[in-house]
Structure 1
Amino acid sequence: MHTTHLETVLHLLRQLPSLPENQAYHIPQLWTSDFPGTAAVEPGIYYSDIIARILEHPRTDSAETERKSRWSEAAVVYNLFVRLTAAFDHNLDGTVGKEPLECGFRETGTLLKAIALLPYISELGANTVYLLPLTAIGKANRKGNLGSPYAVKDPFAIDPMLDEPALGLAPDFLLKAFVEAAHLLGIRVVFEFVFRTAAIDSSWVTTHPSWFYWLSGNTGDNRYGPPFFDQETLNAIYEKTDRHDLQNLPAPSGEYTGMFVPPPASLARHNDNMEGIGENGMPCHIASAFSDWPPDDRQPPWTDVTYLKMHNHPDFNYIAYNTIRMYDAALDDPDTFNRELWDTIISIIPWYQEHYGIDGAMIDMGHALPGELKRMIVASARKSRPDFAFWDENFDPTPAVRDEGFDAVFGSLPFVIHDPVFIRGLLNYLNKTGVALPFFGTGENHNTPRVCHRNPCSETGRNHAMFIFTLSAILPTIPFLHSGMEICEWHPVNLGLNFDENDRSGFPAETLPLFSTFSYDWETTNRVEPLVRYIRTVLSVRKKHAELIRCGDKGSIVLPYVTEPELLAVLRKNGSKSLLFIGNSNGETPKSGIIEFAFPEGSLFDLIEERNHEVSDHKLSICCRPGQCLLFELPQQN
């Protein structure tokens, strides 16, 4: 009988010797229970026991029954950044070491520990795991002590840091075991793919130098940076792009575009960088990347990654907004497509489907890929799996994105959900237009501030997180658990969006968890009660009312009037059925208010705390604790 990858991992774990008396290996108790703190374990026994239980788990048929449907609509997502989420100070020496412990197990997150977290993720209520990039990472201009997962060295190789040396198994073997384990638990697996950028020292540089943008001069030349546009030019850019007029978009100055040169005639390695020699004998090097939009964005440059050159048009041999995102109309010409690069990109997802059996893909910077290329990527992946899900890192769930074949987008919720005024504006808009495409229900991701960022280690932060999670869960969204939010983690993963200068000075880029060793506060030493049990309750309620909540039709999201502005009421409607959400958006102060009903008397049952609230004389008087949310199933009206 064929032995699965997961069974092989189990066998090897059971062969491991006990730890010497002078070594101890601790795990967070939250990984297997509802209690904070740590427990000392034998790693071989601990991980083998979890895997044995997974292997004994009765196979669910949900994946098969929904195989023909767009299953994303029913997804509840746990966003897993393996090397961070599964990281822990196992020897309790106060640091998360980069190198393995004496026993051969790593403190940074590994695929074995990610397998062990799957039952925890399932019990939270998630049925889908979305993995941030797992590919091998470049070394050139590496940020932090681990490097950025977006500095992709080789899109077909798995990061060797995700293995467990104690087992002697390659990371790709463990990744196959991870997908097997997830499927046994009825969990789908979605990978994030990076197609728009690559590492400065990508393995493709030596074989395909024409896939990259090259600058004149040596690697140490510091003249290069994002192009500058004066205000008049910026106004013209915004005016044209707002009208979707991409004809003759304003280009950067000749001084800027003149720094770019054709691909080199020959290459030589200089430390971790590849340097080129042009046909004129002059040196050149690969241009690093920067934030692509808006054109005056002044985020720090992305020194470890570069943009792939999607077009070969000689007049657009430079990196700017009109060559890497808001493509000038001249680049619509198929003769300009960098066909060999496109074909290679198109082949990546089918390769992962064949080797790992994954269920879906999140496309990093999908908004910056040529539309035709995106359609080709989708069509190729769905040849063998018509149900294969595609998600787009796009903030706007438009019909155009849906027509490209995508099932969901990231959406704009994290940018509006923190302010009742903004959230009311978005919900009123969605009620009027309907939801064209599902988007993620969350207040954070790895590029935004954590919900608890402004109120770390406090009940205020926890209350705010409780409100935001509950509100997002009753909307026609895909509930999205950014790993760590369930334990009220507040430390940012990356300073990508919505951070200020104080954040940038207080959290140096090289120390951020996106680039360096770090562990969540799994022990919950911040003394704030985790939201684990609360999340289970809310997701259980959502599951029972899934058909109503997932409805995104026009008129399905109504905002009833409440006398207290900080109490947000949302009425979800689908035919004769309706749910009423009322939540206190204030995380510090209790709030009271009144909401009126058409019926004069009655008892409303709160599905979250399971107690009755009385309607009298058409009115319901409510007093909500900080962050408290109520959810009522309203009586059907004739």
Structure 2
Amino acid sequence: MGKESKLIKLMNILKKKSKIGEGISYAVPDLWNCFDYSSKESNCREDGVLFVNPYDFYSECIEKYILKSRKSSIDYSKSLSKNVATVNGSVGVIGGDWIKSSIIYSMQIRTSTSWDHDLDGYLSDYSANGFKETGTFVKSIALLPLLKKMGITALYLLPISQHSYKYKKGELGSPYAVKDFFALDEELKDPMTGDEMTVEDEFSAFIEGCHILDIRVMIDIIPRTCSRDNNLILTHPYWFYWINLEEVSEYGPPRVESIGQNVKPSEELLPLMYQSENVKSLLKKFTVSPDKYDAVKWREIQTMCAVNPRLNVLDLIEEYMGITTAPAFSDCINDPQAPWEDVTYLRLYLDTPTASKRYMKDINQPPYILNDTIKCNLFQGNEPNEALWSVLADIIPYYQRNFGIDGARIDMGHALPQDLVEMIMRMPRAIDKDFSFIAEELVDLGAAAAKKMGYNMIIGDGFYKEPRWQEHKIHGFIYDSRNLVCPVFAAGEIADSSRLAARYGGKNLVKCATMLNHFMPNGIPFINSGLELYETQPMNTGLDATSEERYRLDINDKYYGKLAFFDKYQLHWNNKDRWEMPGILSNISKIREEYKDTFTNLDNFFPVSCGDWSSPAIALGWIINGKRRCQRDNLILVLANADMSNYRDLYFDLDGIRRESYNASREAYLLYSPNELSRYIYEFDDRWNLKLGFGPGEVKIIKM
């Protein structure tokens, strides 16, 4: 069997502690109970709150739902691709392209299973009974039956590494301010297991549970920035940029005169940048690393940290030397964003970029952060920081070796040196040839470069285009993405963007876009945690969102103004419409799975004419298994009213279908619509036009 099953160990620990949970008031959302929790102690209120014995609830999910799918011959601690041959009798899809047929769910562990278990009105670190109220790996296991119901086949986890609390944003700090690349966030440990399991054990159990249910797990790595007090400072202080502590209040991205706002740096702009008085002032704020600043004090600090590992090395450096790591800022010139106080850049090159050296007159200038030195895909030096690169290249393999992850997204990978990206991607595929990579590429034009680099897909800009249905941008995104050389997230929101339910069109837009995304050519359906609950307040306001977006909730809501990226936040799991989207996702994911080979092959797609260009109609045609001239049931049509406010009678010209399929019938039946009963029969007129009525944002899936 290989490694000890951490999932079975977890189940046994919880079952052993069952009596501790008797009589305890522990509430969970009823939506978490997609495995028919059977305890006599359970009690569900009308508002969707279920009272359970926590030890029984989580152990029963494992025993009665997950483990019934377990095969004793499989080692689920390995990546799912390594077990494909054993399970299916055939090799996996080479190169990580399994992602093309996936339905992905984006999840921030500490948020997605946060819940006020004692119902005292506050999301505490621990409830009155000592239970963790922010999310944990153990509690996240209880979400797997719901995710399976929704058709999810891959989880994309926002950062799970140990993050910093120094200079933190919000109540909890950003998961992107990584303090230790090779340690898990201890806040994701569940106290229910006590000292019998570590947070690493619990993550292993979580991944096992996912793999048993044929759900792959992908992580997010951040190789360009890290927390200001990252642990690597203690051994490699010169891998970071340093400034005088007294200069912090005046520190920030320089304003470069005669250059517009938010401009990407280029060689042509370097003279203007380095001649700027603001840039010259910024450069004076930098200093050498602590080991060179004061070698004696640095050795004393290292000794203090060796004696007491709980000491924060940056606290000591600031106290005894008066210097600190330089906060990061955007690599675009004149970006209006303030400095990112909680993170700093890693020093990827030990020298100044080659193109910039002629403009750097001071040979004694300490290493510095400027738009060119951090835009390393465009500006490289001659001295790569090879030791640092080796550390960064080992992050993903560490999680492969220890946890059996299936894929990863490289944060800001497009801004890294190409040689470093290739180095980061090489070892994971040496370990698992089916390892999949997501490129943080938001521009369609970057798809070709991402594909060439070895990425399997890009994020794309659906989060921007899909909400703009009045401008027909959703039409362009749905239709035009088929021309990209690699797949794109079929998504109307991502973790950094505004919520789809908060856009004009609200719930109708969520339902319409999500259904279309499951059948979009060259698209990979992507569900951002909370989309299925019609969440309106974003997790972060980084993309296509104003600062006002954080105040989307009712002012009396206790999470009003909070962002899940930085604060304690509880999804609205018990809202009155909580079962609607999971039900829709269950139905459409089954259709996608049944015809998976059809929907993932662009040769089977054809656009359907909807008449006038101003029509709100969207119509996608799919030829089942590529059989153009066959029997009657060989076509699937996905038809939508992209007007989220009004009922519409829409026309669809299907004469081209008649000419392609001589035996096609003029009758078709409804596979699914949230607004109508399935199997409803539609009939075309003599000219093969189909006229149908649609509610606002309604989608109909029809089979001929």
TM-score by length of 2: 0.81
Q: Distance in 1 between matches of 2:347 and 2:622?
A: 46
Label 1:248 to 1:181 Cα distance change in 2 as closer, same or farther (>3 A): farther
Label 1:558 to 1:597 Cα distance change in 2 as closer, same or farther (>3 A): closer
Name the counterpart of 2:400.
353
Q: Distance in 1 between matches of 2:548 and 2:176?
A: 25
SS of equivalent residue, structure 1 residue 155: strand
CA drift at 1:597? 2.4
Q: Is the 8 A contact 2:165 2:172 kept in 1?
A: no
Q: Distance in 1 between matches of 2:206 and 2:259?
A: 53
Name the counterpart of 1:530.
580
Question: Comparing 381-390 with 418-427, which one deviates more in the overlay?
Answer: 418-427
Cα shift readout 1:30-80 (whole Å, capped 9, x = no counterpart): 112499601110001111101112122244997334534321112111111
CA drift at 1:276? 4.7
1:203 aligns to 2:231 (yes or no): yes
Q: Is the 8 A contact 2:28 2:50 kept in 1?
A: yes
Name the counterpart of 1:284.
323
1:303 aligns to 2:341 (yes or no): yes
Q: Distance in 1 between matches of 2:436 and 2:123?
A: 35
Q: Is the 8 A contact 2:106 2:158 kept in 1?
A: yes
Name the counterpart of 1:44.
55
Tell me which of 463, 477, 501 is aligned to 2:508.
Answer: 463
Question: Comparing 10-19 with 106-115, which one deviates more in the overlay?
Answer: 10-19
The amino acid that maps onto 2:537 is: H
SS of equivalent residue, structure 1 residue 71: helix
1:499 aligns to 2:545 (yes or no): yes
Q: Is the 8 A contact 1:6 1:178 kept in 2?
A: yes
Aligned length: 614
Give the share of equivalent positions with the same residue, in percent.
Answer: 29
Q: Is the 8 A contact 1:76 1:479 kept in 2?
A: yes
Q: Distance in 2 between matches of 1:289 and 1:483?
A: 28
Q: Is the 8 A contact 1:143 1:510 kept in 2?
A: no
Cα shift readout 1:583-628 (whole Å, capped 9, x = no counterpart): 1222232122222221498122222132222211322112111111
Label 1:533 to 1:633 Cα distance change in 2 as closer, same or farther (>3 A): same
Runs of 4+ in 1 over 6 A off after TM superposition: 245-249, 269-272, 505-510
Q: Which has the higher helix share?
A: 2
Name the counterpart of 2:359.
none
1:474 aligns to 2:502 (yes or no): no
Cα shift readout 1:73-106 (whole Å, capped 9, x = no counterpart): 12111111111001111111112112x2243321
1:566 aligns to 2:637 (yes or no): no
Cα shift readout 1:274-320 (whole Å, capped 9, x = no counterpart): 46589xx9742111122334x33323432111111111114673323
Name the counterpart of 1:103.
129
Label 1:239 to 1:327 Cα distance change in 2 as closer, same or farther (>3 A): closer
Tell me which of 53, 60, 63 is aligned to 2:84.
Answer: 63
Q: Is the 8 A contact 1:246 1:326 kept in 2?
A: no
The amino acid that maps onto 1:522 is: W
Tell me which of 443, 458, 464 is aligned to 1:409.
Answer: 458
Name the counterpart of 2:600.
550
SS of equivalent residue, structure 1 residue 445: coil
Tell me which of 251, 254, 259 is aligned to 2:280.
Answer: 254
Q: Is the 8 A contact 2:537 2:551 kept in 1?
A: no
The amino acid that maps onto 1:288 is: P
Label 1:296 to 1:570 Cα distance change in 2 as closer, same or farther (>3 A): farther
- Mapping for residues 599-638 of structure 1, pairs under 5 Å: 599=658, 602-609=666-673, 610=678, 611-618=680-687, 619-634=689-704
Q: Distance in 1 between matches of 2:225 and 2:377?
A: 16
Q: Distance in 2 between matches of 1:20 and 1:408?
A: 45
Q: Distance in 2 between matches of 1:196 and 1:559?
A: 44
Q: Distance in 2 between matches of 1:319 and 1:550?
A: 44
Label 1:510 to 1:119 Cα distance change in 2 as closer, same or farther (>3 A): same
Label 1:627 to 1:178 Cα distance change in 2 as closer, same or farther (>3 A): same
Tell me which of 348, 368, 377 is aligned to 1:318.
Answer: 368
The amino acid that maps onto 2:32 is: W
Tell me which of 311, 336, 354 is aligned to 2:383.
Answer: 336
The amino acid that maps onto 2:389 is: W
Name the counterpart of 1:28.
29
Q: Distance in 2 between matches of 1:160 and 1:419?
A: 40
Where does structure 1 lack aligned partners over 5 or more consecutive residues?
none
Where does structure 2 lack aligned partners over 5 or more consecutive residues?
37-45, 75-79, 306-310, 357-366, 554-558, 629-633, 660-664
Cα shift readout 1:393-435 (whole Å, capped 9, x = no counterpart): 111352221121111111111111122422333455445xx33
Cα shift readout 1:134-155 (whole Å, capped 9, x = no counterpart): 1111121111221110111101
Q: Distance in 2 between matches of 1:558 and 1:326?
A: 41
Q: Distance in 1 between matches of 2:188 and 2:396?
A: 20
Question: Comparing 581-590 with 434-443, which one deviates more in the overlay?
Answer: 581-590
Q: Is the 8 A contact 1:321 1:327 kept in 2?
A: no
Tell me which of 118, 131, 135 is aligned to 2:161.
Answer: 135
Q: Is the 8 A contact 1:275 1:286 kept in 2?
A: no
Q: Is the 8 A contact 2:519 2:599 kept in 1?
A: yes
- Mapping for residues 75-474 of structure 1, pairs under 5 Å: 75-98=102-125, 100-168=126-194, 169-218=197-246, 221-232=248-259, 240=266, 250-251=273-274, 253-264=279-290, 265=292, 266=294, 267=298, 273-274=314-315, 276=317, 283-293=322-332, 295-314=333-352, 317-325=367-375, 327-329=377-379, 331=380, 333=381, 335-396=382-443, 398-420=447-469, 421-427=472-478, 429-431=480-482, 434-454=483-503, 460-474=505-519
Q: Distance in 2 between matches of 1:388 and 1:371?
A: 19
The amino acid that maps onto 1:533 is: G
Cα shift readout 1:119-169 (whole Å, capped 9, x = no counterpart): 211121011111111111112111122111011110111111111112112
The amino acid that maps onto 1:117 is: L
Q: Is the 8 A contact 2:102 2:154 kept in 1?
A: yes
Q: Distance in 2 between matches of 1:511 and 1:358?
A: 31
Alpha-carbon RMSD across the aligned residues, in angstroms, is: 3.0
Question: Comparing 578-587 with 494-503, which one deviates more in the overlay?
Answer: 578-587
Label 1:55 to 1:567 Cα distance change in 2 as closer, same or farther (>3 A): same
The amino acid that maps onto 2:690 is: L
Q: Distance in 2 between matches of 1:597 and 1:21?
A: 63
Name the counterpart of 1:7.
8
SS of equivalent residue, structure 2 residue 201: helix
Label 1:157 to 1:246 Cα distance change in 2 as closer, same or farther (>3 A): farther
The amino acid that maps onto 1:425 is: G
Q: Is the 8 A contact 1:583 1:627 kept in 2?
A: yes
The amino acid that maps onto 2:67 is: L
Label 1:510 to 1:143 Cα distance change in 2 as closer, same or farther (>3 A): farther
Bigger Cα Rg:
2
